[in-house]
Chain A
Amino acid sequence: SAVISQKPSRDICQRGTSLTIQCQVDSQVTMMFWYRQQPGQSLTLIATANQGSEATYESGFVIDKFPISRPNLTFSTLTVSNMSPEDSSIYLCSVPRDSRTDTQYFGPGTRLTVL
């Protein structure tokens, strides 16, 4: 399985600030996905990060609030902008195991608390 790391693992931030979360994979992948998991809730897809093109956002999520970068096939960042306490969540990236399978693996997540 792919080895996925995320930085930071957790952070406590002040309202109105921004935080950039990094996701690094040990192999090249075409697609990377960013999810949000609010406290005690399920996982909701924020966007799909494509290398070399704009990210594709799901309904309810916009680029101004969650800008994404995908500079190469092993790395992506998600920024949570102008944070409010409602943004307190776990943010996870996921990647397909390889191009031949549907299996997706998740990174360890970034636990964000906004005061």
Chain B
Amino acid sequence: GENVEQHPSTLSVQEGDSAVIKCTYSDSASNYFPWYKQELGKRPQLIIDIRSNVGEKKDQRIAVTLNKTAKHFSLHITETQPEDSAVYFCAASKESGSARQLTFGSGTQLTVLP
């Protein structure tokens, strides 16, 4: 089955700096890669996603890049703010029948220092 590795497990940055979180996946058939943000005690919230027919996607301060050949994708957050502090999870999936089952990375605890 799919295996997703995520690095780093913890990341501290100064407010205003950029943060980068990286994930690799094992199944070359995976073609959908969402990123979730989970604040303490809350549900995971989708923040951005990318499909394998696209190399990069951007939404304001957040961007995701995908390298299909190397089977890795990254989350980039620019101009970080204290409210960006949370646990971020990457995930990968491929369509299986009519369902998409997500395999998650281990998570990155991002702390933005004021």
- Interface residues of chain A, those whose CB is within 8 Å of chain B, are 30-31, 33, 41-45, 48, 58-59, 92, 94, 96, 102-109
The 9 closest A-B pairs by CB, nearest first: A106-B43, A31-B99, A42-B104, A43-B104, A102-B32, A42-B106, A42-B107, A106-B44, A108-B43
B-chain residues with CB within 8 Å of residue A108 when the two chains form the complex: 42-43
A-B contact count (CB 8 A): 52
Whether, in the assembled complex, B101 has its beta carbon less than 8 Å from a beta carbon of chain A, the answer is yes
Q: Which of B51, B100, B103 has the most CB of A within 10 A?
A: B100
A102 contact set on B, CB distance < 8 A: 32, 34, 49, 51, 93, 100
B98, CB-defined interface residue at 8 Å: yes
Which A residues are in CB contact (< 8 Å) with B100?
96, 102, 104
Proximity bits, B33-76, A CB within 8 Å = 1, else 0: 01010000011111001010000000000000000000000000
Residues of B near any A CB (own CB < 8 A): 1, 32, 34, 36, 42-46, 49, 51, 89, 93, 98-107
**Do A42 and B32 touch across chains, with their CB atoms under 8 A apart?**
no
Q: Which residue of B lies closest to A97 (CB)?
A: B46
Partner of B1, one of A41, A59, A109: A59
Please measure, in the bound complex, the distance between the C-alpha atom of A104 and the C-alpha atom of B102, giving whole angstroms. 9
**Which residues of the other chain, A, contact B32 by a CB distance below 8 angstroms?**
102
Interface of A (DSSP majority class)? strand
**Structural contact, A43 and B89, CB atoms closer than 8 A:** yes
Q: Which residues of B contact A41 (CB under 8 A)?
A: 106-107
Give min CB distance, A34 to chain B, whole Å.
11
From known contacts A102-B93, A104-B34, A107-B43, infer whether A45 and B101 are also in contact, taking CB-CB under 8 Å.
yes
With a CB–CB cut-off of 8 A, which chain A residues contact B103?
Answer: 45
The answer, among A33, A42, A107, for a CB contact under 8 Å with B101, is A33
22 A-B residue pairs with CB within 8 Å? A30-B99, A31-B98, A33-B99, A33-B101, A41-B106, A42-B104, A43-B44, A43-B89, A43-B104, A44-B104, A45-B101, A48-B101, A58-B101, A92-B44, A102-B32, A102-B34, A102-B51, A103-B34, A104-B46, A106-B36, A108-B43, A109-B43
